[in-house]
């Protein structure tokens, strides 16, 4: 297959002058990871692009993989589904990108043509979905192969701040689409966000687009509650106390118009059910590994709406514009920065996030 390419990196085969290896963060089964040499990806389909990663990050989902919570991820997989980089090669079927283009990589791969993509459900693309760092090698590496490149990459302006842009690969579209949009946040609404991790905090920032009345954030981590206040939360509630009682007191006993579940455990879902107002919305964002109880004996007559969603990244162009216009600053969630070669240390930092006061760690080329 014919491809186009630009000059390659420093590790080259002296006979072919083509890079053959790269460094990558590799999963080797529950609790096991390493920074090691891997073969550099090659074009496999006409619609592929090879991107040289210049900035990446680690997601909470990567930590779930390392715990063994995502059995589809097999030993030997390169982790990561978020990244910014430069196109190095394109297949003959790629028309919107060329070598040298700076790009944002979407965490969701989409063909843009199948029945699900035509409904805007890119996460369920019949030729993609969440594949990077899941069923194919991901972005915590020097190079990555991006299938369906024309509809899975976004052009970046020359002056784009990569630390901000990489956070638009996943957490901001996830918080916005699954939490704020699905929750139908409206001006003046009372909003409870249960969980002040990166997703919950991104929901604080993007809920602000709609001028809600109160934004109440619940968590056990006092540092994260302080960060939530600095980002626009009007009230914070310690989950170690009696959060439902506190939220009902704040809202005069009425409950909240929108309850965003951003943790993924039964206790947080139960809290959302306990505080949602009549006619309100529960927007589930968290990844649940255990069953939850739906309290229909109380909620059957409450006219509530319950939504679930896997991020589709349909909002990425909007979020790119919001960053460009300085209406959104994702870097407020970036607490630690490492060279890509320090990925093992970065994982250790994020795994001990409470003590390290870590939210998002940024991995830079080098």
In CATH, the number for domain 174-307 is: 3.40.50.720
Element holding 224 (H helix, E strand) = helix 222-231
Matching CATH number, 4-170+313-364, of 3.90.1170.50, 3.90.180.10, 3.40.50.300, 3.40.50.1220: 3.90.180.10
DSSP per-residue codes, 168-207? GTTHHHHIIIIIIITTT--TT-EEEEE--SHHHHHHHHHH
CA gap 267, 265 in Å, rounded: 6
Confidence label for 231 from pLDDT (cuts 50, 70 and 90): very high
Provide the pLDDT for residue 33.
98
Strands 153-155 and 102-105: antiparallel
For residue 19, the model assigns a pLDDT of 67
Domain with CATH 3.40.50.720 in the chain: 174-307
Catalogue the E-assigned strands of 285-352: 305-307, 334-339
Mean pLDDT over the full length of the chain: 94
Which pLDDT belongs to residue 155?
98
- Full-model pTM: 0.92
Calculate mean pLDDT across residues 36-61: 97
Model confidence at 208: pLDDT above 80: yes
Please give the Cα distance from 131 to 110 (Å, whole number): 10
From-to residues of CATH 3.90.180.10 in the chain: 4-170+313-364
Task: Identify whether the C-beta of residue 182 lies closer than 8 Å to the C-beta of residue 241.
Answer: no
Q: What is the pLDDT of residue 6?
A: 40
pLDDT digits (tens, 9 = 90+) for 293-349: 999 999 999 999 999 999 999 999 999 999 999 999 999 999 999 999 999 999 999
- The residue with greater pLDDT, 12 or 76, is 76
Average pLDDT over residues 146-155: 98
DSSP strand pairing (49-57 vs 360-364): antiparallel
> Residue 17: its pLDDT value, please?
47
pLDDT value for 12:
36
With bands split at pLDDT 50, 70 and 90, how would you rate the model's confidence at 18? low
Report whether pLDDT(48) > 50. yes
Residue 1 has pLDDT above 50, yes or no: no
Each residue of 101-113: pLDDT tens digit? 999 999 999 999 9
pLDDT at 229 over 60: yes
Q: What is the pLDDT of residues 237-285, one digit of tens each?
A: 999 999 999 999 999 999 999 999 999 999 999 999 999 999 999 999 9
pLDDT of residue 91: 98
Q: Per-residue pLDDT for 4 more than 70? A: no
Separation of CA 113 from chain center: 23
pLDDT of residue 69: 86
């Amino acid at each position: 297959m014919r491809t186009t390419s630009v000059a390659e990196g420093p590790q080259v085969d002296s006979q072919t002058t083509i890079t053959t290896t790269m460094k990558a963060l590799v999963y080797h089964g529950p609790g096991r990871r390493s920074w090691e040499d891997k073969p550099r990806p090659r074009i496999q389909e006409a619609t592929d692009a090879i991107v040289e990663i210049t900035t990446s990050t680690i997601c909470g989902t990567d930590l779930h993989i390392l715990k063994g919570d995502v059995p589809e991820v097999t030993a030997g997989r390169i982790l990561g589904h978020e990244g910014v980089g430069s196109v190095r090669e394109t297949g003959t079927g790629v028309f919107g990108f060329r070598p040298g283009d700076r790009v944002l990589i979407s965490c969701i791969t989409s063909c843009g043509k199948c029945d699900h993509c035509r409904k805007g459900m890119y996460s369920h693309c019949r030729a993609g979905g969440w594949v990077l760092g899941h069923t194919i090698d991901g972005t915590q590496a020097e190079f990555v192969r991006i299938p369906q490149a024309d509809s899975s990459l976004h052009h970046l302006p020359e002056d784009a701040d990569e630390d901000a842009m990489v956070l638009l690969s996943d957490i901001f579209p996830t918080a916005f689409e699954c939490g704020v949009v699905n929750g139908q946040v409206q001006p003046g609404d009372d909003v409870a966000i249960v969980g002040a991790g990166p997703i919950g905090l991104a929901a604080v920032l993007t809920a602000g687009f709609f001028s809600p009345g109160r934004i109440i954030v619940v968590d056990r981590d006092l540092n994260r509650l302080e960060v939530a206040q600095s980002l626009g939360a009007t009230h914070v509630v310690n989950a170690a106390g009696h959060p439902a009682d506190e939220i009902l007191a704040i809202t005069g006993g009425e409950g909240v118009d929108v309850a965003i579940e951003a943790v993924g455990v039964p206790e947080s879902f139960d809290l959302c059910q306990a505080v949602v107002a009549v006619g309100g919305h529960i927007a589930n964002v968290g990844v649940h590994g255990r069953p939850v109880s739906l309290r229909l004996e109380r909620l059957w007559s409450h006219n509530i709406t319950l939504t679930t969603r896997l991020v589709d990244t349909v909002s990425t162009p909007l979020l790119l514009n919001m960053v460009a216009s300085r209406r959104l600053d994702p870097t407020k969630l970036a607490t630690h920065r490492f060279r890509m070669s320090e990925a093992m240390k970065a994982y250790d930092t994020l795994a001990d996030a409470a003590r390290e006061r870590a939210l998002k760690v940024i991995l830079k080329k080098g």
